[in-house]
Amino acid sequence: MSLTDKDKAAVRAMWGKISKSADAIGADALGRMLVVYPQTKTYFSHWSDLSPNSAPVKNHGKNVMSGVALAVSKIDDLTSGLMALSEQHAFQLRVDPANFKILSHCILVVIASMFPKDFTPEAHVSMDKFFCGLSLALAEKYR
């Protein structure tokens, strides 16, 4: 299910609309992931505060969204574009790749809630495919 030119255009267009709010989207998505999928908290036992809008959550939400921004800029070759991040996730963070789908879903929910008119079904399918591709590229170096 690779990204067509139409998908890439849709993703770039969507990113154009939402990138100014990237930090807020990241913080909201991460915060709600920890609430909706409590098993994800196991990766953050070293944080003092796991509540939505806490400093570590906001900060990390920002990091996640810069990864997304990178992926948008490397959308023509996600595998090589995200190679370094994949190595980090595979060898250091060792996050189970099943969680990529969970966080992707939360990001899409936040985008839908913040940009209901722009997140049409056509935009949704391209963004969903994009996050699938991103997740696959992130899991590339795992084994």
Partner 1 sequence: MVEWTDFERATIQDIFSKMDYEVVGPAALSRCLIVYPWTQRYFGSFGNLYNAAAIMGNPNVAKHGTIILHGLERGVKNMDNMKEVYAELSVLHSEKLHVDPDNFKLLSDCLTIVVAAQLGKAFTGEVQAAFQKFMAVVVSSLGRQYH
Query: Which parts of this chain interact with partner 1 (CB under 8 A)?
Result: 31-32, 34-36, 52, 105, 108-110, 112-114, 116, 119, 121-122, 124-125, 128
Q: Is 49 exposed, middle or buried (0-12, 13-18, 19+ CB in 10 A)?
A: exposed
CA–CA separation, 102 vs 108, rounded Å?
10
36 or 93: CB nearest partner 1: 36
CB 56 → partner 1: shortest distance, Å? 16
- Pull the structure tokens for residue 77: 């070759």
CB 125 → partner 1: shortest distance, Å? 4
CA–CA separation, 48 vs 2, rounded Å?
40
Contact criterion met (CB below 8 Å) for 134 and 78: yes
CB 35 → partner 1: shortest distance, Å? 4
114 or 136: CB nearest partner 1: 114
**Helix%, strand%, coil% for the chain, nearest 5:** 75, 0, 25
CB 90 → partner 1: shortest distance, Å? 27
CB 36 → partner 1: shortest distance, Å? 4
- Pull the structure tokens for residue 64: 């996640």
89 or 129: CB nearest partner 1: 129
42 or 80: CB nearest partner 1: 42
46 or 116: CB nearest partner 1: 116
Phi-psi region of 94 (alpha: psi -120 to 50; beta: other; left: phi over 0): left
